[in-house]
């Protein structure tokens, strides 16, 4: 269900929506993430939020529709752990604890 939604929203982005993703890179280990500068983004009828799994350090995003936020799947797609943190640029690197460097907008989809 959730994966279908993500694919749907991503194709929406490609066709209609403008999405600005910034590239953040760890100064120590080179871990990278492409994400909106706020850690979440608003789409036409919903939003997309970025998370980091505290268990396996996997970064992933989830989309949701307004009014259906409760249905958001709050578990890691990789290890199924529910120990996750909302990702924001000021969060340190989940792999090594290093500082993240904002490399600016890496892609602009319109
Ligand atoms: Zn790092
Ligand atoms: Zn995980």
For the segment 2-30, what is each residue's pLDDT rounded down to a tens digit? Answer: 445 555 445 444 444 556 788 899 999 99
Q: What is the CA(9)–ligand 1 centre distance, in A? A: 29
Domain region containing 81: 2-109
Q: What is the CA(27)–ligand 1 centre distance, in A? A: 7
What is the distance in angstroms between the CA of the first residue and the CA of the last residue of the chain?
26
Q: What is the CA(73)–ligand 1 centre distance, in A? A: 26
pLDDT score recorded for residue 15? 44
The ligand placed nearest to the CA atom of residue 60 is 2
Q: What is the CA(42)–ligand 1 centre distance, in A? A: 28
Domains held by the chain: number = 1
Q: In this structure, what DSSP letter does residue 11 have?
A: H
93 or 70: which carries more pLDDT confidence? 93
| pTM for this model (two decimals) | 0.64
The ligand placed nearest to the CA atom of residue 52 is 2
In angstroms, the CA 104 to CA 108 distance is 11
pLDDT score recorded for residue 12? 47
């Amino acid at each position: 269900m959730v994966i279908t939604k993500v694919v749907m929203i991503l194709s929406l982005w490609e066709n209609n929506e403008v999405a600005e993703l910034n590239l953040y890179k760890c100064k120590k280990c080179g871990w990278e993430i492409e994400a909106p500068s706020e850690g979440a983004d608003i789409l036409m009828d919903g939003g997309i939020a970025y998370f980091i799994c505290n268990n396996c350090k996997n970064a992933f995003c989830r989309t949701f529709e307004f009014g259906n936020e409760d249905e958001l799947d709050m578990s890691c797609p990789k290890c199924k752990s529910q120990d996750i943190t909302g990702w924001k640029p000021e969060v340190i690197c989940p792999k090594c604890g290093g500082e993240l460097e904002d490399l600016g907008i890496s892609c602009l989809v319109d």
